[in-house]
Amino acid sequence: MEPFSIKTMKSIRLRPGKERSLQRRHPWVFEGSIASGKADAGETVRVEDAAGGFLAWGAYSPSSMIRVRAWSFDAAERIDRAFFERRVARAVALRSRLPVASNGVRLVHGEADGLPGLIVDRYADTLCAQFLSAGTERWKQTLADVLLHATGCKRLYERSDASVRTLEGLPAVTGWLRGDGATEVTITEHAWQLTLDVALGHKTGFYLDQRDNRALLQRWVQFGGFQNVLNCYCYTGGFTVAALAGGAAHVTSIDSSGPAIERVNAHVAINGFDAARSEALDADVNQFLRDALKTGRRFDAIVLDPPKFAPTAAHADRASRAYKDINRLALMLLQPGGLLLTFSCSGGISADLFHKIVAGAAMDAGGGGGEGGSAGGVDGVILQRLEGACDHPTTLVFPEGEYLKGLAVLKAA
């Protein structure tokens, strides 16, 4: 990587009035805010206000609507290896202070850790990283070395295959960046063992952001005596294990991925639960919910953890209808006094909007056997508003980082 040099630094000048977000330390500069200047992909640039005053050092991305992502707002700071060593060390130190009941932890969470476009998860002795921006791509080799040095790990697998890479003009890249060997890893979470594959699993292999919510389900199942639990969009069965650990007599797990369902069954076995207490089905969730309603099945607790329906606000209307439909069906399938844990990981759906969607679903649900429900709908109380685990922080200046939101709803008895 080329050394940071003020003499060769390119400048990006903003239009009048467009400096306010950077002055508030929001790290993004959109294409329409730029009056002049350009650079190569990932190149460090000096971002200036309309009068030429310093605002930030950032990484330039010629293909993205987010044209610059700020590295630093300190004019005296240099964007070099030492800078990344400081940022990574700070991120790792923060995680060491958090009550994470697992050896699977999110070490770097992009903008929240001052490293826009970089996601790093640690699974036991293996790191898995996503380089999602032109800036992190340009500094990839340096970042890999810094991450291994800061953690003492020997292996780093790259999972730069998220769709956002295309918006940066970058190809998908996967494979061992440092080290080699088997890509399947076993982690501990709470008192459980969970397996994942960094090469084939979703995101970096697993959903660490739901760690605390899985523990919450265990506690509610135990406290509420919920016996019959439905886990929708179950992936590899983290919530399934949690419900069984809480004492559920039976858990039904639904996902449209055969390999994920195989891993659900493996997780039930390696955690010592009787296989008769678990049924894992490779099926479409929407169809399963409708069929269950027709056949009169009911559940004491239901988890809805669907994939991202609305990646941006532009998709919010269509996604809202999809979220409303599955929540309506779930509330109809839920026994009176039952628990619904419902989530959205869509960045285009705010927490307030999600609340309104679930409330609308309750109004459209009812106690009757048909899909239309009764005119009065159902009622319930919000026991808790849910979010990602504490190692997935949201900063005060970057609310866009709050992507996972959820509600724990107790249906009226």
Contact 157, 198 (CB under 8 A): yes
Marked catalytic residue, from 153, 232, 345, 390: 345
127: nearest Cα among 235, 190, 237, 205: 205
Distance CA 314, CA 71 (A): 27
CA distance to 128, 374, 407, per residue, from 120 (Å): 6, 47, 27
227 phi, psi to nearest 5 deg: -100, -35
**CA dist., res. 161 & res. 338, Å (int):** 39
Distance (Å, whole) CA 210 – CA 73: 32
Q: How far is CA 86 from CA 9, 90, 126, 140, in A?
A: 22, 6, 21, 16
Tokens of 245: 């650990």
Q: Is 232 a catalytic residue?
A: no
How far apart CA 9 and CA 400 sit, in angstroms, is 29
DSSP, res 102: B
Rounded CA-CA distance 245/192 in Å is 9
DSSP SS3 for 302: strand
User: Distance (Å, rounded) from C-alpha 121 to C-alpha 1?
Assistant: 24
Cβ count within 10 A of residue 397? 13
Chain-centroid distance, C-alpha 345? 6
Q: Which residues are catalytic?
A: 345
